[in-house]
Amino acid sequence: MVGVLKTERLLGIEPVREWIETFESRQTQKNYLSKMSYLLDVGVDLEALLKLPMKEARELVWRIIKDLKDRGDFAKSDNLKYAVKSFYDFHNEDTPMVWIKRLHRTSRPPKKEAKKIVPSHDQVWRWIDSCRITRDMAIVSLMYNSGLGHQAISCINYGDVIYSLQSDGYPKEIVVTAKVYPKRFRINEGATSYRVLYDRDCAKLIEAYLKESEGLRREYMGKYKVPIDETPLFLTQCKDRRSRCKRMAPWGIWNVLTEVIKRKGQHLGLVKGRTWTYLIRDAYYNRLIAGGMKDVHREYLMGHSLGIRQHYYWNQYSNEMKEQYLACGFNRVEPIEQRIEESEVIRELREENRRLRETMTLGRIKELIKEQLKTATLE
């Protein structure tokens, strides 16, 4: 009620009404009026303010703003400063109000950094397992395995992934181009692509999703008349025809991740700190460090610029990067902290057992079972 009365009083002042009507948006008008209403509380005559010379008007308003600053109301002081300038400049186009940067500062106090809790390998996989549909599981696992952000994941096409899935061995690779991730190539010395890797469990989830989405993909190809390689990797699955069968937008992937983090973050003890989608990229980086990957290899896979080396780095060091990536262990259960080398004895025993299984016939197995039963009966 008090706010409505102040607004009516402000609109009753002719210069204020003329100024506020220049803004088309109702919300903008409301915001400016709420900022200017504080001048009524301290008894400033707005019509008289316009008649003052610029410097006198500025110093009058600055005393009010400085009082707000001293009381710690930084937001109100900052808002009032620019609202008064807009009002004064509208009526005094020849002598606009000029704030002096060094003298008239309304900077806010430094914000407290919120505690940043990066999930562990097991926690990320619990997030993945908590997803309701296979598509969401594939999205989160690909982000964790490759370190790509939600914008890049949205731009990846079917053709970028299917041929690497058909290749032999792990890890698989995806070529990230400027079309997929434009902001990664602004300072990359003219480089047009780099590669990211993903491991076995992630590949299985992507394969399962591609098998499930065959019908949607055919529907997309018929709707937009494009070859299968140019269809998006991740498609929308809603029932609404207008939103069905489209490329998942970055905000759609963001929502998927936010939902997973909010749902599982409480059970993982992550409610005390900030949890946002880039935590998965942070978890990827931490895993590379824990696995002992070289610094420059790590920077390349993160998409950071290597300068002129960006042009030849993959061709020269791809095998070494793949070996170190596998050692980092991005699959579901791979505790890299407790990796133990097998001894010669264990390897020999394993080989002997394998040979026995291959040479043992069905008849010999039956004889062994009879002998064991006879021994058990005698006992």
Placement of tokens 């434009």 in the chain: 182
What 3-state class would DSSP assign to 215? helix
Q: Token pair for residue 291?
A: 């696995």
* Contact (Cβ atoms closer than 8 angstroms) between residue 300 and residue 314: yes
Read off φ and ψ for residue 174, nearest 5 degrees.
-125, 135
Query: Considering just the CA atoms, what is the radius of gyration of the chain in Å?
Result: 32
The torsion angle over the Cα atoms of residues 81, 93, 54 and 22, rounded to 10 degrees, is: -30
Read off φ and ψ for residue 247, nearest 5 degrees.
-65, 135
Residue-by-residue pLDDT tens, the chain, 379 positions: 345 667 777 878 888 888 888 887 888 888 888 888 888 778 888 888 888 888 888 888 888 888 887 777 777 777 788 888 888 888 888 888 887 765 666 555 555 555 567 888 888 888 888 888 899 999 999 999 999 888 888 889 999 999 999 988 999 999 888 666 666 665 556 677 888 999 999 999 999 999 999 988 998 898 889 999 999 999 988 766 666 788 888 888 888 887 777 766 555 444 444 456 678 888 999 999 989 899 899 988 988 878 788 888 899 999 999 999 999 999 987 543 333 344 455 556 667 666 666 666 666 666 766 676 666 555 5
Looking at 1.10.10.10, 3.40.50.150, 1.10.1040.10, 1.10.443.10, the CATH number of the domain 121-338 comes to 1.10.443.10
38, 105, 110, 100: which is closest to 66 by C-alpha? Answer: 105
The C-alpha angle 338, 343, 344, rounded to 5 degrees, equals 160
Cα 324 from Cα 342, distance rounded (Å) = 19
Q: DSSP for 258-308, please give it.
A: HHHHHHHHTTTT-SSSB--TTHHHHHHHHHHHHTT--HHHHHHHHT---GG
CB atoms within 10 A of CB 310: 20
Tell me the pLDDT tens digit for each residue of 22-38.
887 888 888 888 888 88
Greatest extent of the chain over all pairs of C-alpha atoms, in Å? 117
Domain boundaries, the chain: 2-91, 121-338, 344-378
The pLDDT, as a whole number, for residue 32 is 83
The pLDDT, as a whole number, for residue 287 is 92
